Structure 1
Amino acid sequence: MADKRAERIAEFIAPLRVKPGSTVDLVADFDPRYKAGLNKQTGVELLRTGVSLLAEYQTRLAAQDTYGVLLCLQALDAGGKDGTIRHVMSGVNPQGVRVSSFKVPSSEELDHDYLWRYARRLPARGDIAIFNRSHYEEVLVVRVHPEVLDRQKLPSRPSGRRLWERRYREINNWERYLTDNGFKVVKILLNLSREEQRLRFMKRIDLPEKNWKFSAADIRERRWWDDYQQAFSEMLSATSTSWAPWYVVPADRKWFARICTAAVLAHTLIEIDPQYPKVDAKARKELLTARRELEAEAPEGAPPDPYAARHPAPGRAGDHG
């Protein structure tokens, strides 16, 4: 990671990372309004740079076809997940990205283990998958509303804390398995303050074009605010690992949340450092043959290879046939 960009990104996201093995108090340890001394104007430029960097590395990821990346986004209602995805991924090739949202499980999904429906949406090698809410709903919503467990048809259910400890262990093991097989797991919690959520809900009510985004269920869930903060804190403490750490992104300022998300994802791709495949001697010979054939077809007076004429570079295919 000698690249200066990589060093700056790593330094920028360091305060957001949940140290594996640490005990987290979300309210006390992470400020939803933190902005690292930046302003919005500077932030727009940084986001543009981050989007460009992601586009570059996504192309290399797809070309190498060895690693896949899973980005898990968690947040409370109005946390900004949709907008973050839209802005951060604006410059990438949509063919290499798939976004999955997970709502109430279907009857088919309830007939399988609780990770089954998430496993079905994992990325292929060379691709990026985004979970808009993720398997962590199984230790968040299910924990705050334990009646959901009744529909999961568990043959046995440990009581109290033992159930969540078991699920933390199962999730950590699953993510370790994915990482060992070349699938990087990136986990981001968009950390929204209670007051900012209230303001965003009010905006959805006041603006007709945003009415469709509001649901009475959002207000009902808001009544469980303290329970969710506790569930988030325990989740972060138990599942931020060296192979799949959590990042807590301040979400009260949407522009800053988008910069942070782009930086965390870029950091992951830079660490992978995917490379374009190198062709062997036989393939280079075939390229040279094809090049000569195409050069011979050039119209009279036109350069045989316009690109090479404008971009002279040593080592181009066929230059040393």
Structure 2
Amino acid sequence: MAQPAMSPFSQAVVAAMRKIYPESLADKSFDNTGLLLESPFDPKQQLKNSVLLTTDLTKAVADEAIARRDSIIVAYHPIIFRGLKSITLQDPQQKSLLRLAQEGISVYSPHTAVDAVPGGMADWLCDIVSGSVSGPSASLQNDLQNQTQQSDPTSSYSDVIYPQAGHNEIQTTNIIPHTRSAIHPSPDPVPSGFEGAGAGRILTFTDPQPLATLLDRIGRATGNPGSLSVAIPQDASISSLNITTVGVCPGSGSGVLTKGSVLPDLLFTGELSHHEALAAIERGSVVVTLFHSNTERGYLHDVMRSNLADALKQDGQVAVSKADRDPYGIVVRK
């Protein structure tokens, strides 16, 4: 008797993701990519031909997928990262997996394969710093302003403000002249059509760019977060700095950006530790960090959603989670 399999739509999503973001390009030295939860197809569960994209698979995102009746979740970060000796209801993340399995919803994670591919997340960050960026719509900017204003009358602080990811347009026709290449090229054999793949990117402008201009592009493209974490050398100011080389890496970038003998003028990533940032500015570099997943989430809105929809030939719905957000936001003291 044949074993039950995932729904045909979920199988199509996994096949499409593997075609767009080959798993062979993921960094298997630490990563755990691929099909992490394979839930057998049961027509009685009446799931829709829909996929939910998220950066992190949290309880809130699991609730969202269950309420929407999605067939599969594509979670950029693997919810199963290391070996498990048990799966219990006491662990919140494992509980989410058990609930999803019970509902027949599968989970796929592409993670560092998305970072490595040409046109992937690292190149999206390059496009941000080298392109003409239109920010979020007026309605989204109003949402951010409302978050700033909403607070308990007894509090001296606003509510927590989270960037509104996506809904941006990077004008590829107005790209500032530059060259770019992978910092750590993917080892051979690289799948045909994915030449140039690898971890991180080093971008070199033909003409130096004012740091203030790059900060404006980053802020616009990542949802006008209200503040940017910027580290500069102690003898410099933002207005005095011009940038020729930019090293970019989604998420936690130290393993990719800080290992060379010469650092880029600007390190643009999600997070660096205190000591890593201090070492970088002591070597004359600038650091911009956005909290880990704010360098990743916009890509799902602006690129991955349409890539996957095109690969599926519109056979089903591709949506981005509304519940997904970085654990960190900012508060504004009045």
Both proteins in one fold, TM over 0.5: no
Q: Which has the higher helix share?
A: 1
- More relative contact order in 1 or in 2 (CA 8 Å, sep 6+)? 1
Q: Which has the higher strand share?
A: 2
Larger radius of gyration between Structure 1 and Structure 2: 1
Q: TM-score, normalised by structure 1?
A: 0.27
